[in-house]
């Protein structure tokens, strides 16, 4: 029998994925109620098959694949009803959901990393990317040389990249 700690870790990962899985299913099915129903069914399958999951592998991908199979089953079962997507449409939406999922996870990680920047670094990022200021405009506004602004932005971008990569790796584990 598997250890209680492994099961506890599995359940914690599953609970942490609920919002992401619901968004994923909503993108595929286009209906919040259907997504909630399929998520409940997927949770049951995931809990029944928890021993099939290999620890230290991509839990999110495994949970999404089980959810995807449940979404296909849902579509097949509801095919008699009007306005239910065909399996081909669900496959196409699933591909888009994969792209959106990665993007939204990236954005969440970036938001987290931006929140950790110093006030001055955040101001530089906002001037450059939110306000679309040029390097020269930023230098004039802040009373610094253009080259010092370039160096500062380079360091901030490198720091953000490292932080986002670390956040994404932590999210996958």
CB 65 within 8 A of CB 25: no
Provide the pLDDT for residue 173. Answer: 66
CB 101 within 8 A of CB 25: no
Show the DSSP H helices in 17-134 as ranges.
18-29, 32-48, 59-77, 87-115, 119-125
Which residue, 72, 103, 134, sits at the end of a domain? 103
Domain count, the chain: 2
- Taking each helix axis from N to C end, the angle separating 146-172 and 59-77, rounded to the nearest 10 degrees, works out to 60
Distant-in-sequence, close-in-space partners of 30: CB < 8 Å, separation ≥ 6: 85, 93
CB 157 within 8 A of CB 151: no
Q: Are residues 30 and 74 located together in one domain of the fold?
A: yes
Q: Are residues 26 and 64 located together in one domain of the fold?
A: yes
Give residue-wise pLDDT tens across range 122-159. Answer: 999 988 888 888 999 999 999 999 999 999 999 999 99
Provide the pLDDT for residue 162. Answer: 93
Mean pLDDT by 10 residues, the chain (173 residues): 76 89 88 91 92 82 91 80 62 67 70 90 89 90 93 93 87 71
Q: Are residues 88 and 20 located together in one domain of the fold?
A: yes
Instruction: Please give the residue range of the domain that contains residue 140.
Output: 116-173
Q: Are residues 31 and 88 located together in one domain of the fold?
A: yes
111 domain-assigned: no
Tell me how far apart the alpha carbons of residues 64 and 66 are, in angstroms, rounded to a whole number.
5
Look up the CATH number of the domain holding residue 173.
Answer: 1.10.10.10
Angle at 108 between CA 15 and CA 167, to 5 degrees: 80
Q: Are residues 20 and 56 located together in one domain of the fold?
A: yes
Tell me how far apart the alpha carbons of residues 25 and 149 are, in angstroms, rounded to a whole number.
44
109 domain-assigned: no
40 domain-assigned: yes
């Amino acid at each position: 029998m598997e250890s209680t700690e492994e099961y506890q870790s599995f359940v914690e990962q599953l609970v942490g994925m609920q919002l992401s899985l619901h968004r994923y299913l909503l993108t595929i099915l286009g209906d919040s109620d259907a997504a909630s129903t399929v998520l409940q069914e997927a949770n049951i399958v995931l809990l029944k098959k928890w021993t099939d999951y290999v620890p230290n592998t991509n839990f999110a991908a495994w949970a999404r694949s089980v959810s995807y199979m449940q979404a296909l089953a849902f579509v097949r079962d509801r095919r008699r009803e009007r306005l239910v997507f065909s399996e081909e449409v669900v496959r196409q939406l699933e591909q888009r959901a994969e792209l959106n999922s990665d993007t939204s996870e990236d954005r969440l990680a970036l938001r987290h990393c931006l929140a950790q920047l110093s006030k001055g670094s955040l101001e530089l990022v906002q001037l450059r990317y939110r306000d679309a200021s040029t390097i020269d405009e930023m230098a004039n506004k802040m009373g610094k040389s253009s080259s010092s602004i370039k160096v500062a932005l380079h360091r901030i971008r490198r720091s953000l990249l490292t932080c986002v990569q670390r956040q994404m790796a932590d999210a996958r584990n």
